[in-house]
Chains A and B, each alone.
Chain A
């Protein structure tokens, strides 16, 4: 009895009631189809499926023909030749003599302007022979190629950065010879790998052996389609964004297993098998943790998940409620495990397996595996940023302002990359702090701790979204941020200072002229 009372108490304490829902609940563009369409959702089954419907954007003064696909769903279609629509507006749906309007206090962001490339693709698809979806997919791949072209550079720079961080954590320099302060080391390493002989072991399965690195690369490359670097810098804002992310990253696992198996070597096979066991295990808590966020946002679209958060830390999903807070850590550790990063780098444990699944690879084929591994860190950072750390959102800046001042979009990009790099730093930092787990430890962490906790988070989040009034929710977020963001952060900084106080050779002291040399 008592347990059922606490949400009610919170409601009373917060002094607010659940808002009354307008008949039109939601409106968003759908983008996996040819032509630009807008999906409008009603809060109750209002429409007759069949008779014609119109959707009016009141503030823009535009009415589009529409079709009721379900009693509570209407799809409006933007004519290919009509100008793009953009702006904040309420939406009115009319069918026969009935009219339903959305809540006037919260107008929707109408953005029926396809990104240029996508619009172009739509045009081609209409004119070129053959199935339209094929052209559309080709255009999508081209756009992804543009986004992913700097991928090797990103991987290279992260490699150099990691080596520098590991160096400084061990009182060494790391690479500092090639290029300015060593930042071109990745070029030298890459060139060296390209020069090397490409060896396929005679006992290997040649086709699978050759295919595996490309599969790994492809799996990672595809994630860049849905990563929202800023409001505009996204290849395609798929409605199934998160699902897409999960499925294509699984391709990396497949490639690791293929590589391990086809090498026909004990080291490689053991590495591949370990990897399979590990990633299949950790896929579960990671996905359920992501589901927590999907539940909260009510969408799998990456751009909408970012849009649901705010620019300030207490508006991030990380501090939204205790369940997302725990889900973040479950997701983060699982992502480490899925990316084969220390302390979960059992598939490539040097001391036991030489190099694990890629033992038999050399030259260019080999270089793809580390490339994927390090880009994967960047992808982990990007996914964490967009899901939990507010993505590219800036304080005081809403979408209308970004549309008015495009440089703000660049700021958003910078903010996104900065958060991404912060997570990358933590990933590297953890690698140089924690030793490798044993297999049984790794498995018990996943199955005994993460999986139960991730389901608790998921179910708890369902309850939270269902029962928690907005004001109380905001208070909880503020408390979470104060306790964990500020309080724990402060404690941690104090611990670092405590440790650093024993050293007289801090770089900071050098900079301030207080060093001992």
Chain B
């Protein structure tokens, strides 16, 4: 259209359209901004604005937990870890950890929990373990997403439910907030692994001759115990039980050497798969556990050397060399 206008027609069009455009933007200028100023200038806290059935962090009301371990059993990806001990004639929980970094928020644990509860402020009944509306877990420390509902050294007695009663429980989210605060402030796991990942001073500590030797002797006991459980792996029987030998050894590697985060950075899908591969001799690289860092390399090397029949002193020398080669 403008092609058909003359010289002055174009000027007129330019003047009119620019004025119109300026009028539009000026009208916009007087509108109220629609920005939601998360997190601190919202009209209500964002958590409160979420629906009741929102699936945020898991929380457990330890006061009404029966230690039935149903949630741990039903979790498809083993996010929940519960340790139960017998003290006198009472069952106590010494550990109730949920790794929220791994949780996929499927809610199956809540489904399987047998303890109903009524949280204040909720329209619907809930369970002893339940999902909250808390969702802010940003952290620089992966392990601080492990929520520990039992404080170390402070075991919690199991709850004995009364048939048909629906116990009251605090407003959902309060426990999760408290546990998150604790996890982010002083998580011993986080502390240990962050030490292991540091180079320099921590590395020198990890490869000190006497420390490694002591650790080698400690592990030598465990390796021989694992071998004693099964027939000697180096001279396998034709019979079935010998298949257990590498498995026990792999469990030892996972328990003593690896970070148990199943992060996949070693190239194997899980820690167990990596350990199985090492135990079966399919994997020769022993320094692949990234979250475990130098500590993992050292301990895995020690275990492998000891299983080959090396003396603790030989294993320690080898472990120090390998660790320094990979982590300096």
Residues on A facing B (Cβ under 8 Å): 165, 167-173, 429-430, 432-434, 449, 492, 495-500, 503, 505-508, 510, 515
Query: Across the two chains, which residue of chain A brings its CB closest to B10?
Result: A449
| Contact yes or no, B27 A500, CB < 8 A | yes
Known: A495-B19, A505-B31. 11 other contacts (CB 8 A): A171-B31, A171-B33, A171-B35, A172-B33, A429-B29, A433-B22, A433-B24, A495-B23, A496-B27, A499-B24, A503-B27
Q: Shortest beta-carbon distance, A488 to chain B, in Å? A: 8
Contact B28 A169 (CB under 8 A): yes
On whether the beta carbons of B33 and A496 are closer than 8 Å, the reply is no
Complex A-B: 18 CB contacts under 8 Å:
A165-B29, A168-B31, A168-B33, A169-B28, A169-B29, A171-B35, A172-B35, A173-B33, A173-B35, A430-B22, A492-B23, A495-B19, A497-B27, A499-B24, A503-B27, A505-B31, A506-B30, A515-B32
CB of B37 closer than 8 Å to a CB of A: yes
Residues of chain B from 1 to 46 with CB closer than 8 A to chain A in the complex = 11, 18-35, 37
- One digit per residue, 1 when the CB lies within 8 angstroms of any chain A CB and 0 when it does not, for chain B 216-248 equals 000000000000000000000000000000000
Interface of chain B, helix or strand or loop or mixed?
helix
Q: List residues of chain B with CB within 8 A of the CB of A430.
A: 22
Which residue of A433, A449, A497, A515 is within 8 Å of B25 (Cβ)? A433
B109 to chain A, nearest CB (A): 40
Answer whether A429 and B23 are a contact pair too, CB < 8 Å, given A168-B31, A434-B18. Answer: no
How far in angstroms is the closest Cβ of chain A from B83? 46
Specify which of B11, B22, B28 is in contact with A449 (CB 8 Å cutoff): B11
Q: Complex formed: what's the CA distance from A170 to B27 in Å?
A: 11
7 shortest interchain CB distances as A-B pairs:
A499-B27, A495-B23, A500-B27, A433-B25, A505-B32, A171-B34, A496-B23
When distances are taken between beta carbons in the complex, the residues of chain A under 8 Å from B24 are 433, 499
Interface size counted on chain B using CB atoms at 8 A:
20
Name the residue on B nearest A445 (C-beta): B14
Q: Roughly how many angstroms separate A505 CA and B27 CA in the complex, as a whole number?
A: 11
Cα-based distance from A508 to B26 in the complex (angstroms): 13
Q: Are A500 and B30 in contact (CB under 8 A)?
A: yes
Closest to A329 in B: B15
* Complex interface: chain B residues within 8 A of A169 (CB): 25, 28-29
Contact A167 B23 (CB under 8 A): no
Contact A429 B25 (CB under 8 A): yes
> How many residue pairs between the two chains, A and B, have CB atoms under 8 Å in the bound complex?
70
Pairwise interchain contact A433-B30, C-beta atoms closer than 8 A: no
Bound complex: CA of A172 vs CA of B33, how far in Å? 5
Chain A residues with Cβ under 8 A from B33's Cβ? Answer: 167-168, 171-173
Determine which of A167, A429, A508 lies in contact with B30 in the assembled complex, contact meaning CB atoms within 8 Å. Answer: A508
A170→B35 CA distance, assembly (Å):
10
- A434 with B21: in contact, given A173-B37, A449-B11, A496-B26 (CB under 8 Å)? yes
Would you give the shortest CB distance from B30 to chain A, in whole angstroms?
A: 5
- Of A434, A495, A498, A506, which contacts B31 at CB under 8 A? A506
Question: Which residue of chain B has its CB nearest to the CB of A449?
Answer: B11
Chain A nearest CB, measured from B18 CB (Å): 7
Query: Please, which residue of chain A has its CB at the minimum distance from the CB of B27?
Result: A499
Give every chain B residue within 8 A of A429 (Cβ-Cβ): 22, 25-26, 29
Which residues on the B side are within 8 Å of A495 (C-beta)?
Answer: 19-20, 23
Instruction: Give the complex CA separation of A132 and B34 in angstroms.
Output: 62
Contacts of A499 in B (CB 8 A): 23-24, 26-28
Residues of B within 8 A of A505 (CB): 31-32, 34
Complex CA–CA separation, A184 to B28 (angstroms): 25
Nearest residue (CB) in A for B24 is A499
How distant is the Cα of A325 from the Cα of B127 in the complex, in angstroms? Answer: 77
Contact with A506, one of B23, B32, B35 (Cβ below 8 angstroms): B32
Instruction: Name the residue of chain A whose CB is nearest to the CB of B17.
Output: A434
Report B-chain residues with C-beta under 8 Å of the C-beta of A449.
11
A497 — which chain B residues lie within 8 A by C-beta? Answer: 27
CA distance A292 to B236 in the complex (A): 105
Rounded to whole angstroms, the CA-CA distance of A499 and B31 in the bound complex is: 11
A500 to B37, CA, bound (A): 24
Residue of A nearest to B43 (CB): A517
Q: Which residues of A contact B25 (CB under 8 A)?
A: 169, 429, 432-433
**A515 contacts across to B, CB distance below 8 A:** 32
Contact A507 B35 (CB under 8 A): no
When chains A and B are docked, how far (Å) is the Cα of A173 from the Cα of B41? 12
A500 to B25, CA, bound (A): 10
CA gap between A497 and B27 in the complex, in Å: 7
Determine how close the nearest CB of chain A comes to the CB of B20; give it in whole angstroms: 7
A103 to B24, CA, bound (A): 53
Q: Please, how many angstroms separate the alpha-carbon atoms of A434 and B26 in the complex?
A: 13
Q: What is the CA–CA distance of A495 and B22 in the complex, to the nearest angstrom?
A: 10
Q: Determine if B32 and A510 form an interchain contact, defined as CB atoms under 8 angstroms apart.
A: yes
- Distance, CA A492 to CA B22, complexed state (A): 9
